[in-house]
Amino acid sequence: MAFSMIKDGTVTPRGSTGQLLDKGIVRLDELIARSLTEVRLRADPKLHIESDYVQQLVDQIALTAKIDAASRNQSLVIKIEPALKIEADQQLIHSALFNLIQNALKYKRKGGKIEVRGKLIEDNVVIEVEDECGGLSPEAESGLFKKFEQNHENRKGMGIGLTIAQEAIILNHGKIECQNLPGKGCIFRVSLPKIKE
């Protein structure tokens, strides 16, 4: 309907109808990306290993995430060591990080910031996504990576984002964990093996 109104010239693409259409397209893109990753995890769990800079991977996600953040009066801050590289299945890692960042945007209160950090710690590339969701209840913490679990009043989505992220990271020989900061927020921490020199 929004597209028809823009096409007919009833409204301009820059108005609220255009913004509504833009948000719908972003959501559709998210749904397709998530669905394709989930299908691939089930049907073709074979890894397609490539090396890439973490900054480039996160920048691809940040293009749409920053628009989403701005619409909620949030800021998305990226702090990644420029030389940081991973050797992994780029599609799966992209999907995992995308889900973590979208999750942070979804549960973060209006205003404030989400921070994405990347650094090398010993033999691991560590990527952290920190939000200001207010922290997790014990029930939410225990069911965090369970499929279709949603322990928050915001029920948008299907409750599979963190499950997909966990499966994708484990398949790439990494681990994912959540550090609860009661009253403040959460830090999702992904650790992946560094590239062997």
What's the pLDDT tens digit per position in 109-166? 677 789 999 999 999 999 999 998 888 887 777 667 665 455 545 445 445 778 889 9
What is the amino acid identity at position 69? A
Per-residue pLDDT for 51 more than 60? Answer: yes
Angstrom distance (rounded) from CA 75 to CA 114: 6
Burial of 43 (C-beta count, 10 Å sphere; 0-12/13-18/19+): exposed
> What are the structural domains, with CATH classification, of the chain?
48-193 (3.30.565.10)
- The residues, ordered by sequence, that sit 6+ positions from 111 with a Cβ below 8 Å of its Cβ are 73, 74
- The residues, ordered by sequence, that sit 6+ positions from 23 with a Cβ below 8 Å of its Cβ are 71
Please give the mean pLDDT across all residues of the chain: 80
Give the CA-trace dihedral at 159, 163, 164, 168, to 10 degrees.
Answer: 170
